[in-house]
Amino acid sequence: MPYLFKTMESPLGKLTLVGRDSKLAAILWENDKPTRVPLGPLQEDPASPILLETERQLGEYFSGQRRQFDLALDFSGTDFQKRVWQALLTIPFGQTRSYSDIALQLGDIKAVRAVGAANGKNPISIVAPCHRVIGASGELTGFAGGLKAKELLLTLEGAHALHNKPGTAVPRRKRRTADPAQGLLFE
């Protein structure tokens, strides 16, 4: 079965949602490198149920009404990459982890660089929250959507990475909502 796609506007720019066999296979950034997430041929289908559901849940997330996604996922990658991406799904909303935290969770502290590489290849951005992975000192590090998008996502969740030690919860701030037309957050 071919990969189906539809696009949606978001506070982060245009996102391309990709599905296959009634599962979400990718969320691609507007300026994504074509080689970051290798996919087969794409066929546009704006009425695909999984893509419409993904768009709905992302809309709720961006408006501050959703903290967790409930979507069937189709990760395509190496066994190690899939383990990293599954570990991303365990990071709670409003919290961050370092690359070494993920390596420890996987049982191999020496795999920090491999975790970083797998994190960068995460095909299902936002839903598999690779934006919640930061440097050991709390600094923002590489992100396929760009560091500005990463900071916006962390701020939306109340987890500004520069003030959140890895593995700790951040007290909830005022409820924030996103204005998709402006790409801004406001309280």
Catalytic residue among 17, 51, 130, 144: 130
**Which tokens go with 21?**
């066999």
130 is catalytic: yes
**Which tokens go with 65?**
């009404």
Q: How far apart are the first and last CA of the chain?
A: 43
Contacts 24+ apart (CB under 8 A), 146-154: 146/29, 146/31, 149/12, 149/13, 149/29, 152/11, 152/12, 152/183, 152/185, 153/12, 153/126, 153/129, 154/96
**Residue 175 CB: number of other CB atoms within 10 A?**
10
Query: Considering just the CA atoms, what is the radius of gyration of the chain in Å?
Result: 16
In angstroms, the CA 149 to CA 106 distance is 27
Cβ neighbours of residue 181 under 8 Å, at least 6 residues apart?
none
Q: Which residues are catalytic?
A: 130
